[in-house]
């Protein structure tokens, strides 16, 4: 049946995996103690979400926080909750509905790694004792399941918690309001007023999973789906970067000797440090991009908003068939969509209108990568942060159709998007609208997510 899909393996495949392993070979070309390639993605414009790709396994974690009353038994602590959903998106073997055994196991593992090991300082989440604390929730979405969910989910959750920023909250002195309301007045500061705060993490626990074969003698790190199906058992070690072990998890399967276990724990500690280093580097890249954006936003605020308005008004895309032709023509350089949607030569026609001026395609390419994966460690573009941000915006705006052929295989269609959105040469197109938003109307520049945190009790 379909539901056995993930664990189904033919005998010859199993034998092949085992035989290759005897020669220290794995079917995807790795050595026994190699991780698959780990990639991190942090969305540029939000705090608290991370996508981790471990080979083809892809997991997204989203951190959200709400300021509410604490649990009565722990009045001076916030809380940390994990929710893992194995939706059919990741694998046809997963079913909709209540979390199954696998999801519960993954959830429990995250709790052991990040909450029970006291990795996150919950007392620091207290704003007003007994009244208001931060309840932090981590939703882990498995998007693609190609083996070793435990490590990928742990890494995604950790990355999201490290990238998470919460608005600063301050308590008004005096505390007592009117009448019987003894609730203190808690003020939340918008992110553009006070820098949002990161969570304080005492250590970085990482899950390292081994697949065990042949009575525990043969071992692979980071087993793929097929290896997991062939394995006789699994062992997950949760280790910190300082060589401490937070938890061991061995769900069933064959038993292994103590000496082998200790050997694997040592390997796990070394690997955890290695992986954490990559994670830190990715976060540094994300942090730089974040600062660059903030500086850009501040800079734009200082600039003449009126001028920007005029500039932006120069080019607009008009939805065809509704606006009158005169107005569309007035849109300087804007791709008129009637032309685009016209029967023949559509791309050539509009391409002419959008021919980029003065920027070669390699620059545009870099711009596109920057925008696509801000989380990747990368060199800072050009001098100064303000300039850097401007270049990013400019490059993105300028990629016309001419940069299409060089684009990464991710099928990033921003160029066509720009064409449709009607972005013109040299002006920021709507992809940057979020930055511009702050410039044009500073008060409404908050993101939707942020708007949930409104000042309380003021």
Partner 1 sequence: MGALVQDTLEPDAFRKLYPDQYYARFVAEGLRPDGRPLLQARPTTIALGAVSAADSSALVKIGNTTVMAGIKLEVMVPVDERPQEGQVAVSVELTALCSPDARPGRFSEAAHCLNEQVSTALRSGGVVNLQNLLIAHGRAAWVAYLDLYVLDADGGLYDAALLAALAALAALRLPHVDVDDEGKVVPAGASDAAMVLEDADGQRLSAAGPAGPQPIAHLRVGSLPTALTCALYNGQLIVDPDRDEEARAHALVAVTVDDRGRLLGVEKQGGRAAADAAALQSCIAAARVRHREVASLLRQALHAATVPGYSGADS
Partner 2 sequence: MSCTELAGPGPGSGKELLRANGRSAHQLRSMQCERGPLQRADGSARWCQGGSVVLAAVHGPRGTASRKEDPERAVVEIVFRPRSGLAGPAERLAEATVRRTVEGVLIAALHPRTAVTVVLQVLSEDGGLLACALCAASAALVDAAVPLARTFVAATLAKTSEGVLLVDPDAAEEEAADAVATLAFAARGEAPGDVAPTLADGVLACRSAGPLSDGDFLAAVDLGRAAARCVAVFARASLEKSLSALV
The residues of the shown chain that bind partner 1, judged by CB under 8 A, are 179-181, 183, 454, 456-457
What is the helix (H) or strand (E) element at residue 317, kind and residue range?
A: none
Provide, rounded to whole angstroms, the least separation between the CB of residue 421 and partner 2.
5
**C-alpha–C-alpha distance, residues 360 and 363, integer Å:** 6
If contact means CB under 5 to 8 A according to the sort of partner, which of partner 2, partner 1, none does residue 52 touch? none
Q: Which of these segments, 268-276, 333-341, 357-365, 376-384, binds partner 2 (CB under 8 A)? A: 333-341
Q: Residues 95, 99, 101, 104: is their CA dihedral positive or negative?
A: positive
**C-alpha–C-alpha distance, residues 31 and 27, integer Å:** 10
Q: Give the nearer residue to partner 2 in terms of CB position, either 229 or 337.
A: 337
If contact means CB under 5 to 8 A according to the sort of partner, which of partner 2, partner 1, none does residue 39 touch? none
- Give the β-pairing of 79-85 and 132-144: parallel
Q: Which of 26, 115, 132, 141 binds partner 2 (CB under 8 A)?
A: 141
If contact means CB under 5 to 8 A according to the sort of partner, which of partner 2, partner 1, none does residue 124 touch? none
Residue 364 CB contacts under 8 Å (≥ 6 apart), including other chains: 356, 395, 398, 399, 400, 403
Q: Which of 50, 188, 429, 453 binds partner 2 (CB under 8 A)?
A: 429
Provide, rounded to whole angstroms, the least separation between the CB of residue 165 and partner 1.
21
312 in contact with partner 2 (CB under 8 A): yes
Q: Which of 2, 10, 259, 458 binds partner 2 (CB under 8 A)?
A: 2
Residue 323 CB contacts under 8 Å (≥ 6 apart), including other chains: none
Q: Which of 183, 416, 426, 457 binds partner 2 (CB under 8 A)?
A: 416
**C-alpha–C-alpha distance, residues 434 and 304, integer Å:** 17
388 in contact with partner 2 (CB under 8 A): no
4 in contact with partner 2 (CB under 8 A): no
Q: Residues 272, 140, 201, 280: is their CA dihedral positive or negative?
A: positive
Q: Which of these segments, 128-136, 163-171, 249-257, 322-330, binds partner 2 (CB under 8 A)? A: 322-330
Radius of gyration of the chain from its Cα atoms, rounded to whole angstroms: 26
Among left, alpha and beta (phi > 0; psi -120 to 50; other), residue 346 is: alpha
Q: Which of 47, 222, 227, 414 binds partner 2 (CB under 8 A)?
A: 414
Q: Give the nearer residue to partner 2 in terms of CB position, either 380 or 433.
A: 433
- Give the β-pairing of 169-171 and 165-166: unpaired
Q: Which of these segments, 16-24, 108-116, 260-268, 443-451, binds partner 2 (CB under 8 A)? A: 443-451
């Amino acid at each position: 049946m379909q539901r056995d899909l993930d664990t189904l393996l033919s005998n010859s495949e199993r034998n092949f995996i085992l035989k290759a392993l005897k020669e220290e070979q794995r079917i995807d070309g790795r050595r026994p103690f190699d991780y698959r390639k780990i990639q991190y993605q942090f969305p540029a414009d939000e705090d608290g979400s991370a996508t981790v790709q471990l080979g083809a396994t892809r997991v997204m974690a989203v951190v959200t926080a709400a300021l509410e009353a604490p649990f009565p038994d722990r009045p001076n602590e916030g809380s940390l909750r994990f929710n893992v959903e194995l939706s059919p998106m990741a694998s046809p073997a997963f079913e909709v509905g209540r979390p199954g055994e696998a999801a519960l196991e993954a959830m429990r593992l995250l709790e052991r790694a990040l909450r029970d090991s006291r990795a996150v300082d919950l007392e620091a989440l207290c704003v007003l004792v007994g009244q208001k604390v931060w309840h932090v929730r981590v939703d882990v979405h498995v998007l693609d399941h190609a083996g070793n969910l435990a490590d990928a989910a742990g890494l995604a959750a950790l990355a999201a918690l490290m990238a998470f920023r919460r608005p600063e909250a301050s308590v008004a002195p005096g505390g007592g309001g009117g009448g019987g309301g003894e609730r203190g007045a808690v003020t939340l500061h918008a992110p553009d007023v006070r820098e949002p705060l990161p969570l304080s993490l005492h250590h970085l626990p990482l899950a390292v999973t081994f697949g065990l074969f042949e009575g525990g003698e043969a071992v692979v790190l980071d087993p793929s789906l097929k290896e997991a199906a062939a394995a006789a058992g699994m062992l997950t070690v949760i280790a910190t970067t300082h060589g401490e072990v937070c938890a061991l998890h061995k769900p069933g399967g064959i038993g292994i000797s103590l000496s082998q276990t200790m050997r694997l724990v040592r390997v796990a500690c070394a690997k955890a440090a290695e992986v954490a280093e990559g994670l830190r580097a990715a976060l540094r890249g994300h942090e730089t991009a974040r600062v660059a954006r903030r500086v850009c936003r501040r800079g734009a605020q200082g600039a003449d908003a009126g001028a920007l308005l005029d500039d932006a008004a120069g080019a607009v895309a008009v939805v065809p068939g509704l606006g009158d032709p005169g107005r569309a023509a007035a849109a300087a350089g804007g791709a008129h969509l009637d032309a685009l949607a016209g029967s023949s030569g559509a791309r050539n026609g509009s391409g002419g209108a959008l021919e980029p001026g003065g920027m070669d395609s390699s620059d545009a390419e870099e711009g596109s990568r920057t925008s696509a994966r801000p989380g990747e460690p990368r060199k800072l573009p050009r001098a100064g942060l303000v300039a850097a941000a401007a270049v990013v915006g400019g490059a993105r705006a300028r990629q016309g159709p001419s940069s299409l052929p060089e684009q990464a295989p991710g099928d990033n269609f921003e160029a066509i998007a720009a064409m449709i959105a009607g972005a013109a040469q040299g002006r920021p197109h709507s992809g940057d609208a979020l930055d511009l938003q702050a410039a044009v109307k500073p008060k409404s520049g908050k993101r939707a997510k942020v708007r949930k945190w409104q000042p309380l009790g003021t």
